[in-house]
């Protein structure tokens, strides 16, 4: 596997360790991550929240920054919170839907 794919895989692995404190499913499986773009040693992440007034927003952004910046080859992590498209339950993985009782 080439170095870029290894770094990308590690970034995704780290995103799967970030949990909203109110929901027992990681943010990746919740469908909150819209884009991950790695440009050299910088990782740019577009994400959304389950609700615009999510009280855990600052916690989530900081947790993402800390965990993704721990990946070898990543020096800078930029997290951009977006609300387009609006998040819906359909964006969750099958595992997340099962865990939260939507299936």
In a domain, 94, yes or no: no
Residue 94 predicted with pLDDT over 60: yes
Top pLDDT among 73 and 103 is at: 73
Q: Give a yes or no: residue 36 inside a domain.
A: yes
Report the predicted TM-score, pTM, of the whole model to 2 decimal places.
0.92
Q: Is the pLDDT of residue 11 over 70?
A: yes
Report pLDDT for 1: 55
What is the chain's mean pLDDT, rounded? Answer: 94
Residue 99 lies in a domain: no
SS (H, E, C) the chain: CCHHHHHHHHHHHHHCCCECCCCCCECCCCCCEEEEEEECCEEEEEECCCCCCCCCHHHHHHHHHHHHHCCCCCCEEEEEECCCCCCCHHHCCHHHHHHCCCC
Could you tell me if residue 12 is inside a domain?
yes
For residue 62, the enclosing domain spans 3-82
């Amino acid at each position: 596997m080439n170095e870029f794919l290894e770094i990308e895989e590690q970034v995704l692995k780290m995103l799967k360790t970030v949990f909203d404190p109110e929901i027992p499913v990681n943010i990746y499986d919740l469908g909150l991550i819209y884009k991950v773009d790695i440009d050299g040693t910088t990782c740019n992440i577009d994400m959304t929240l389950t609700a615009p007034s999510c009280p855990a927003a600052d916690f989530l952004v900081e947790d993402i920054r800390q965990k993704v910046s721990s990946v070898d080859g990543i020096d800078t992590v930029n997290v951009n919170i977006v609300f387009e498209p609006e998040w819906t339950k359909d964006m969750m993985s099958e595992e997340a839907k099962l865990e939260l009782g939507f299936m």
